[in-house]
Structure 1
Amino acid sequence: MTSRTPLLAIRDLSVAFRTGKQDVTVVKNVSMEIMPGQTVAVVGESGSGKSTTAAAVNRLLPDNGRITGGQVLFEGRDLAKASEREMTAIRGAGIGLVPQDPMSNLNPLMRVGDQIAEALEVHGVASGKAARARVVGLLDMVGIPDPAQRIDQYPHEFSGGMRQRALIAIGLACRPKLLIADEPTSALDVTVQRRILDQLEELTADMGTAVFLITHDLALAAERADVVAVMYQGELVEVGAAAEILADPGHEYTRRLLRAVPSLSSVRMVEPPQKDGGPVETEDLVEIEDLHKVFPIRGSAAEFTAVDAVTFGIPRGRTVSIVGESGSGKSTTANLLLGLDDVTSGRIRFDGTEVTSLGRRELFAFRRRVQPVFQNPYASLDPRYTVEKSIAEPLRVHRVGTAASRRRTAAELLDQVSLPSSVAQRLPHELSGGQRQRVAIARALALSPELVVLDEAVSALDVLVQAQILELLAELQRELELSYLFISHDLAVVRMISHSVHVMQRGRIVESGTASEIFERPTADYTRELLAAIPGTRSRQA
Structure 2
Amino acid sequence: MTPLLQIRDLSVAFRTRKQDVTVVKNVSMEILAGQTVAVVGESGSGKSTTAAAVNRLLPDNGRITGGQVLFEGRDLATASRKEMTAIRGAGIGLVPQDPMSNLNPLMRIGDQIAEALEVHGVATGKAAQARAVELLDMVGIPEPARRAAQYPHEFSGGMRQRALIAMGLACRPRLLIADEPTSALDVTVQRRILDQLGRLTAEMGTAVLLITHDLALAAERADTVAVMYQGEIVETGPAAGILAEPGHDYTRRLLKAVPSLASARVPEPPRDAPDLVVVENLRKVFPARGSGEEFTAVDDVSFTIPRGHTVSIVGESGSGKSTTANLVLGLDEPTSGAIRFDGTDLAGLRRRELFAFRRRVQPVFQNPYASLDPRYTVEKSITEPLRVHRVGTAAERRKTAAELLEKVSLPASMGERLPHELSGGQRQRVAIARALALSPDLVVLDEAVSALDVLVQAQILDLLAELQRELGLSYLFISHDLAVVRMISHAVHVMHEGTIVESGTTEEIFDHPRDDYTRELLAAIPGRAASR
Determine if the TM-score, normalized by the shorter chain, exceeds 0.5: yes
CA-based RMSD of the aligned residues comes to 0.8
Match of 1:466 in 2: 457
The residue type paired with residue 21 of structure 2 is V
1:295 paired with 2:286, answer yes
Percent sequence identity is: 84
Provide the TM-score with structure 2 as the length reference.
Answer: 0.99
Which of 369, 387, 391 is 1:400 aligned to? 391
How is 1:274-285 mapped onto 2 (pairs within 5 angstroms)? 280-285=271-276
The one-letter code of the counterpart of 2:32 is: M
Match of 1:501 among 476, 488, 492: 492
Indicate if the aligned counterparts of 1:223 and 1:538 stay in contact, CA closer than 8 A: no
Q: Does 1:256 align with 2:253?
A: yes
Partner of 2:174: 177
Counterpart of 2:525 in structure 1 is: 534
Residue 110 of structure 1 deviates from its aligned partner by 0.8
Render the CA deviation track for 1:49-100: whole Å, top value 9, x for unaligned. 1110000000000011111111000000000010011000000000000000
Q: In structure 2, what is the equivalent of residue 137 of structure 1?
A: 134
Q: CA deviation at 1:362?
A: 1.1
Q: Deviations over 1:384-439 (max 9, x none)?
A: 10111100000111111111111111111111111101101111111111111010
Unaligned runs of 5+ in 2: none
Task: Supply the distance in 1 between the matched residues of 2:151 and 2:4 (Cα, whole angstroms).
Answer: 36
Structure 1 residue 185 displacement after superposition: 0.3
Q: Unaligned regions of 5+ residues in structure 1, if any?
A: 274-279
TM-score scaled to structure 1, two decimals?
0.97
Cross-structure match for 1:324: 315
Provide the rounded CA distance (Å) in 1 between the counterparts of 2:401 and 2:488: 25
Aligned counterpart, 1:337: 328
Q: Secondary structure at the match of 1:238?
A: strand
1:517, CA displacement in angstroms?
1.0
Q: How does 1:142-291 map to 2 (within 5 A)?
A: 142-273=139-270, 280-291=271-282
Distance (whole Å) between structure 1 residues aligned to residue 204 and residue 372 of structure 2 = 40
- More deviation, 280-289/356-365: 356-365
Partner of 1:62 in structure 2?
Answer: 59
The answer to whether the Cα contact below 8 Å between 1:270 and 1:474 also exists between their aligned partners in 2 is no
What is residue 363 of structure 2 aligned with on the other side? 372
* Aligned-pair CA distance for 1:269: 2.5
Partner-residue secondary structure (3-state), 1:105: coil
Amino acid at match of 2:239: A
Cα distance in 2 for residues equivalent to 1:190 and 1:18: 38
Q: Is the 8 A contact 1:270 1:496 kept in 2?
A: no
Q: Is the 8 A contact 2:428 2:452 kept in 1?
A: yes
Q: Which moved more, 1:156-165 or 1:351-360?
A: 351-360
Give the paired residue count: 530
1:89 corresponds in structure 2 to 86
Match of 1:481 in 2: 472
Q: After TM superposition, give the deviation of residue 254 of structure 1 in Å.
A: 0.4
Q: Does 2:43 correspond to 1:52? A: no
Residue 120 of structure 1 corresponds to: 117
Distance in 2, matches of 1:235 and 1:456, equals 29
Instruction: Measure, in 1, the Cα distance between the counterparts of 2:105 and 2:17.
Output: 33
Paired letter, 2:301:
V
Select which of 392, 405, 415 maps to 1:414.
Answer: 405
Instruction: State how far apart, in whole Å, the 2-side matches of 1:427 and 1:406 are.
Output: 18
The secondary structure found in structure 1 opposite 2:177 is strand
Contact 2:442 2:474 (8 Å CA) reproduced: yes
Q: C-alpha distance in 2, partners of 1:429/1:361? A: 35
Kindly state the Cα deviation for residue 225 of structure 1 after the two structures are TM-superposed: 0.3
Distance in 1 (CA, whole Å) between partners of 2:344 and 2:481 is: 32
Distance 1:392 1:267 in 2: 34
SS state of the match for residue 435, structure 1? helix
Partner of 2:98: 101
In the alignment, residue 293 of structure 1 is paired with which amino acid? Answer: K
Q: Secondary structure at the match of 1:205?
A: helix
Structure 2 counterpart of 1:277: none
1:21 to partner: Cα distance = 3.6
The question of 1:307 aligning with 2:298 is answered yes
CA distance in 2, matches of 1:328, 1:164: 15
Does the C-alpha gap of structure 1 residues 16 and 141 become closer, same or farther in structure 2, counting only changes over 3 Å?
A: same
Instruction: Give, in angstroms, the shift of residue 38 of structure 1.
Output: 0.5
Contact kept in structure 1, 2:260 and 2:528, CA below 8 Å:
no
